[in-house]
Structure 1
Amino acid sequence: MIAKEARQALALQRFAEQNPQLLEEVRELDAREQAQQIEWAFEDAADEQGVQPWEYALQLIAESPEQLKAMRMETHREVAEALGLEWEEYCQFNEIEPE
């Protein structure tokens, strides 16, 4: 599985590769501005799909439906823990089928 630290960068890279017109539009900008424009376009694309940017990132980097599900559940578990919620309570609140 892809290391958590590398997921966002890989997702942004794949997003940019899938959107050559975006790369052409930002070509003249400096590297920092290019990265910012790509990230904003990425967030807009996630919004257009009706998902959070973290979910869209996982969709872009997952190599299989099983890997996507595993990464999604891992993220949800981390959020539940950060919020101090029991896993079952978190799943019920977010309409997630607990494993």
Structure 2
Amino acid sequence: MAATEQQHERALEKFLDERPELRHELDNLNPLLAQAKGETAAQYRDERLHEAFEAEAERQGLFAWELTLKLTVDTPEDYETQRMEVHKEVAEMAGLDWLEYCELYGLSK
């Protein structure tokens, strides 16, 4: 089962809690930058937060949903179990054989 929106919001909050410098930066963005993009300050801040989150996931070699799971589950075992469940769902939706999917994404079966 994929991460829920509520789970993702908790992950974003934890992500910011662990990075006070990023929180400070996001809380002090230039409102003119948001205006220039035709966005509210909150929309502009959210966009920057999601970019930072996705960049961190990529830095760790993860998809953003995997980082969401990693930040919100109780144990590493829970993370691996849920992560593999989602990958299996994705493989099934894509119509890929599980072994082929694992090879494609470098997963252990």
TM interval, shorter chain, is 0.7 to 0.9
> Which structure 1 segments of 5+ residues have no match?
none
Pair 1:42 & 2:21 matched: no
1:1-99 equivalences in 2 (<5 Å): 4-29=4-29, 30-98=41-109
Per-residue CA distance 1:33-84 (angstroms, 9 max, x = gap): 2211111111111222222222222211121011101110111011111101
Higher Rg of the two aligned structures: 2
| Cα distance, 1:45–1:92 mapped onto 2, change above 3 Å | closer
TM superposition score normalised by structure 2? 0.72
Identity of aligned residues (%): 37
**Structure 2: distance between partners of 1:3 and 1:94:** 19
For 2:107, what is the secondary structure of its paired residue? Answer: coil
**Structure 2: distance between partners of 1:50 and 1:89:** 19
**Structure 1: distance between partners of 2:3 and 2:26:** 28
Query: CA shift at 1:92, angstroms?
Result: 4.5
**Structure 1: distance between partners of 2:92 and 2:10:** 25
Count matched residues. 98
Q: How well do the aligned residues superpose, as a CA RMSD in angstroms?
A: 2.4
Query: CA shift at 1:19, angstroms?
Result: 0.9
**Structure 1: distance between partners of 2:3 and 2:68:** 13
> Which structure 2 segments of 5+ residues have no match?
30-40
TM superposition score normalised by structure 1? 0.78
